[in-house]
Amino acid sequence: MNIGIDVGTTSIKVVVIDIKNKKSTSISRNHDSTISNLPSPYHEQDPKKIIETIVSLLNDINQFINEGDVMSIRICGQMHGIMLWDSNISRDLEICSNLITWMDGRCDDNFIKNIYSGNYIVSKGFGFVSLLWLVKNNFNYVKSFNRCGTIMDFVCCYLSNDFNNVSVTDQNAYSWGFFNRDKNEFDKEILTKLFPVSFFDNIIKLPSVTSSDKMIGVTRNSIKNIGLKENIKIMASLGDLQASLSVTKLNTSTAFIIIGTSGQISFILKDDDKVIEKLKNNKKIMRNIFIQNYSAWTGALMNGGNSLSSVVKLICNLYSQLVSKKENINEDEMWDKLLNINPNIQEVLKNKLSVDQLFIPERAEKAKNNIKGLIISGLMEDTGIDEIFPAIAYKIIHNMHEIISSSLLASLGISRIILIGKGTTPLFKSFIEHFYNNQHIVDTNNDTFGNIYLDAAFGSSIYDYNILNH
């Protein structure tokens, strides 16, 4: 048996796969770790709450498995983010920073232009950019730590009870920015120029870069604390993107549309100089590390399920302000109804309701007239939520198609799209079929392992079988 854990921006999911007997078990829970009352561009999460949720899920899932059969555990999760800690901490997590996530917007275009103007693609929310902001604005705070990593790396340290030796996969290291993929290492020449003298020698030690096929540790002192047996292999952690692309056997004729907190369209291609040059001309497409000789190409959006979530919260807030008794609204029930709206494409196209701007500006996009937040035109007194939600979903998929079009996919020999996350819901699927009408659209229910959803947690649990053994 293999365990896969996806540390998402909103929730944690644990999947246990028994490849030999074609069985699976999964469990998920929101971690509610986002720090409230921060300035609006900031987005930080409490790693202690994330760890607590993971431990709780592992203890809960133990009743469904024979823990003696668990051979390995692999973490995947939200990319780009960074956190700091002291190497001498215990599992009480006495000295660690918040996680600055990929959604953090404190490093605006002006900040980035002032620090760097070279060839590396860097953006707000990228690990090294966020760390440099901390150094410039709160250096004494940074000096209270000596290690850094992604949240996935921190979870691996927790499982092995070793916070000193930190490993990061090339996949996740690349997502921080300033990573030389040819040498497969951080570009220390650039970093030395950006950060204070001897910063990475005397203050914060960078994690060791490893490949995704490596074992980086084993579970220790884990029976009482985590509910897992001793000496389970801890495999190098994946990015949630790469894990999501691992739900099927390696297949270069397949693209993936993933709607989670954000939205993205991705595909895996064998490295080819002509293809690389063609795709690199599109500055909105990012080339991510996958495995040797293969790259994961991605058009990533800042807006996805988070935009819909913001609308749900807005509705709940307005309702609670109007109702004196402040009745509780069942958000899960509301979500279920809204995501199952089956929009009439022609009606949406004819509708005068237009979403001009979503809640978060896309990367390299400026807010219209410096107005932040959602901008919708054409709202009437009889406009229904069954019109607003589809209009937002339409805008999300429209933005996605602007980055990677159906014609581009066809030119690359890609003929099918696998839907992951909220992309499988009627709300999104209708628009995906509309924009990508030359593709065979595939849902992610899989009967092979007991009708489990093919998501990042599943991909993480079956990564060795699907990808490394290709």
What local confidence, expressed as pLDDT, does residue 361 receive? 63
Q: Residue 263 is encoded by which pair of tokens?
A: 């939205």
Sequence spans of domains, the chain: 2-241, 249-443
Arithmetic mean of pLDDT over the chain:
87
Confidence at 302, pLDDT banded by 50, 70, 90: confident
pLDDT band, very low/low/confident/very high, at 121 (cuts 50, 70, 90): confident
Tokens of 25: 């078990």
Convert the pLDDT of each residue in 20-32 to its tens digit.
877 788 999 999 9
Look at 325-334, 424-433, 443-452 and tell me which has the smallest mean pLDDT: 443-452
Among 426, 47, 466, CA closest to 242: 466
**pLDDT-above-90 percentage for the chain:** 52
Report pLDDT for 46: 98
The residues near 81 (Cβ < 8 Å, ≥ 6 apart) are 99, 100, 101, 102, 104, 125, 127, 130, 150, 151
Question: Tell me, what's the pLDDT at 394?
Answer: 87
Per-residue pLDDT averaged across 363-387, rounded? Answer: 71
How confident is the model at residue 325, as a pLDDT? Answer: 55
Residue 42 identity (one-letter amino acid):
Y
Residues 6 or more apart whose CB falls under 8 angstroms from that of 65 comprise: 1, 16, 25
Tens-digit pLDDT profile for residues 258-286: 888 788 999 999 998 898 888 988 878 88
DSSP state letter for 35: P
Question: In this structure, is the dihedral angle defined by the CA atoms of residues 106, 111, 115 and 116, taken in order, positive or negative?
Answer: positive
The model carries a pTM of 0.84
Q: Does 251 or 213 have the greater pLDDT score?
A: 213
CA–CA gap between residue 99 and residue 336 (Å, rounded)? 30
Largest pairwise CA distance in the chain: 64
- Phi, psi torsion values for 148, nearest 5 degrees: -145, 160
Cβ contacts of 416 within 8 Å, gap of 6 or more: 253, 254, 255, 439, 440, 441, 442
d(CA 9, CA 11): 6
Residues 393-422: what's their mean pLDDT?
90
- Residue 17 CA, chain-centre distance (Å), reads 21
CATH of 2-241, one of 3.30.420.40, 3.10.450.50, 3.10.150.10, 3.40.640.10: 3.30.420.40
Residue 257 confidence (pLDDT) above 60: yes
User: In angstroms, what CA-CA distances link 257 with 425, 426, 436?
Assistant: 12, 14, 11
Residue with tokens 């084993």: 218
Query: Buried (b) or exposed (e) across 66-89, using 16+ Cβ within 10 A?
Result: ebeebebbbbbbbbbbbbbbbeeb
SS3 state at 277: helix
Superfamily for domain range 249-443: ATPase, nucleotide binding domain (3.30.420.40)
233 forms bridges with which residues in the sheet? 72, 218
Same fold, 2-241 and 249-443: yes
Residues in contact with 299: Cβ distance below 8 Å, sequence separation at least 6, in sequence order: 264, 265, 266, 284, 285, 286, 400, 403, 404
Answer yes or no: is pLDDT of 37 > 70: yes
- 26: three-class secondary structure by DSSP: strand
pLDDT at 73 over 80: yes
Distance CA 24, CA 1 (A): 9
Is pLDDT above 80 for 357? no
Contact predicate 148/129, CB 8 Å:
no
Going by their DSSP bridges, the two strands 208-210 and 167-169 should be labelled as parallel
Q: What is the dihedral of CA 462, 57, 78, 362, to 10 degrees?
A: 120
